Amino acid sequence: MSKTYRVLSTEDDDDQFTLLRLALKDLPLDLRRATSGKETQTLLPEFKPDLLIIDVTLPDMRGWEVLDWLRANHQVLMDVPIIILTAHTEASHRVIAKLQEVAHYMNKPFAPAELRAKVSSLLGID
């Protein structure tokens, strides 16, 4: 029996989350959604994801603040790969992502096949 991987997406835009879900629908994932940084903070300890997909612009905080909180409070999740999925194209955001040790930085609108391939690669799904 194949493994089901837990993925938490922090995405406040319904349409973007629908596209993300459709792009990943055939992968063996338990995909959950948080619509804010605070909701992500609430879900992380109990859900213990294998992968995080985080938007930078959230209604209550920046995605970078979520990562700072994660690193300060959840040592056990330090090795969880993170994909930043954002509309921000500024070079400064890519620098922040590198400093935050983000596994992959992807811009919206995203190519579904590229997202699927990156998620598969990070989780080791054939």
- Tens digit of each residue's pLDDT (9 = 90 or more) over 64-109: 999 998 888 776 677 899 999 999 999 999 999 998 889 999 999 9
pLDDT at residue 118 above 90?
yes
H/E segment holding residue 34: strand 29-34
The identity of residue 24, as a single letter, is L
3 pLDDT tier (thresholds 50, 70, 90): very high
pLDDT at residue 5 above 70?
yes
Rounded CA separation 72/115 (Å): 28
As a whole-number percent, the residues of the chain with pLDDT over 90 amount to 81
User: What Å distances lie between residue 105 and 32, 91, 98, 113, CA to CA?
Assistant: 20, 11, 9, 15
Number of domains in the chain: 1
pLDDT at residue 1 above 70?
no
For 19, the domain range is: 5-123
pLDDT in tens, 18-75: 999 999 999 999 999 999 999 999 998 889 999 999 999 999 999 999 999 888 877 6
Average pLDDT, the chain: 93
Residue 79: the pLDDT is 85
Rounded CA separation 81/103 (Å): 6
| CATH code, domain with 25 | 3.40.50.2300
